[in-house]
Amino acid sequence: RFAPSPTGSLHIGSARTALFNFVFARHQGGVFVLRIEDTDMKRSLQVHEHSITRDLHWLGLSADEGPDVGGAYGPYRQSERAHIYEEGVLRLLAEGHAYRCFCSQERLDALKEDQLTRGRMPKYDRRCLGLTEEEVQQRLAAGEQATVRFRIPQGQVDYQDMIRGRLSFSADVIGDFIIKRTDGGFSYNYAVVMDDMGMKITHVIRGEDHVTNTARQLLLFQAFGVEPPTYAHHSMIHAPDGGKLSKRHGATSIGEFRDLGYLPEAMVNYLALLGWHPSDERELFRLPELVQEFTMDRVSKSPAVFDRDKLNWLNGVY
Ligand code: GLU
């Protein structure tokens, strides 16, 4: 699945994530799912969702399931899935995997500051874990605001990443994170797991900036007793000067490249070669050929460097 947040237009980095998901799914005879992660109400805009969908169509990466085409596991916008998230929270609470927390922001800030000055890693101290059910109900009835926190179990979290190999995290460094906020909203890591579970996602291909989220997500899958998807975290696209690719390096969104006269075939071909290499010297691949050729073992874990000359060359060819 490809799960963009509609907070801007389709960046070439995200377009490459979408492409890898698309060709991987098609190569396996699978389904490519588009999910719109619009839980950030302030930053998510419908115009961005429309432009992302339009740019995906332009590249030829139309979804088999998604907000526009529907599917058996919808709705495909997070903003329309609150009832599903709520059910999951109630289940985690009932099974002791989650608990209500009444700590004020002031207390949490002071706790964090104290931990930092003592050279400790900031982590919630579980003050509310010991509250009895009776106390909780009384405080809720009295109108006190509460968040819901996921109770992190002890031990190691291990998983096999299709690109990065075996990864392992110690759960001890992860604090009991909030899954439902006082404003009724749900946290990113929680919503993603509910969706990947509910949409029966088998493979998640995304940027390596999500590696640390994966530990939290795996622990949530474990609490629900559901087999997690297989993860593949690809590297990020870097600028030729080494840093993050940004505006000062010129066009960075698919829309900008289109307006500059680049062809979708050239973009797709170029993005595929950023981090993936074919089995031979060949460099020209149209989408159906990529579907045939693409396997994850030829995706590199080192950063891909954006090379405008190569893109220009490919555009000339097409
Ligand atoms: N919405 C997330 C993002 O745009 C994607 C998360 C994911 O793929 O799990 O970074």
- Ligand 1 center from residue 221 Cα (angstroms): 17
DSSP 298: G
Using 50, 70 and 90 to split pLDDT, how confident is the model at 249?
A: confident
When pLDDT is cut at 50, 70 and 90, the band that residue 40 belongs to is confident
pLDDT on residue 53:
97
Alpha carbon nearest to ligand 1 atom 7, residue: 3
Task: Give me ligand 1 centre to Cα 4, in Å.
Answer: 6
In whole angstroms, what is the distance from residue 22 CA to residue 13 CA? 14
Cα 305 to chain centroid, rounded: 22
In this model, does residue 248 exceed pLDDT 90?
A: no
pLDDT at 244: 81
Position 42 scores a pLDDT of 86
Please tell me if the CB atom of residue 210 comes closer than 6 angstroms to any atom of ligand 1: yes
Whole-number pLDDT of residue 39: 87
User: How many CA atoms lie less than 13 Å away from 27 in the CB half-sphere?
Assistant: 16
The CB of 3 under 6 Å from ligand 1? The reply is yes
Residue 60 has a pLDDT of 98
Cβ–ligand 1 contact at 49 (below 6 Å):
no
> Average pLDDT in the 276-289 region?
95
Task: List the one residue out of 145, 216, 222, 208 whose CA is nearest residue 175.
Answer: 216
Q: How many angstroms is it from 205 CA to the middle of ligand 1? A: 10
Can you list the alpha helix ranges (DSSP code H) found in 77-233? 82-94, 105-117, 133-141, 188-198, 211-224
Question: Torsion over CA of 136, 137, 138 and 140, rounded to 10 degrees?
Answer: 90
Active-site residue identified among 42, 247, 301, 310: 247
Is the pTM of the predicted complex or chain greater than 0.75? yes
> Which residues 6+ apart lie within 8 Å of 172 measured at CB?
154
Tell me, using a 6 A CB cutoff, whether residue 37 lines ligand 1. yes
Does the beta carbon of 192 sit less than 6 angstroms from any atom of ligand 1? Answer: yes
pLDDT over 90 (residue 242): no
Extended strands (E) in 31-128: 98-101
- Identify which of 122, 232, 112 has the alpha carbon closest to the alpha carbon of residue 174: 122
Predicted confidence band of residue 2 (pLDDT cuts 50, 70, 90): very high
As a whole number of angstroms, the distance between CA 87 and CA 114 comes to: 36
Q: State residue 241's pLDDT score.
A: 86
- From ligand 1's centre to the CA of 94, what distance in Å? 29
Q: Which atom of ligand 1 is nearest to the CA of 209?
A: 10
Q: Report the nearest-CA residue for atom 3 of ligand 1.
A: 4
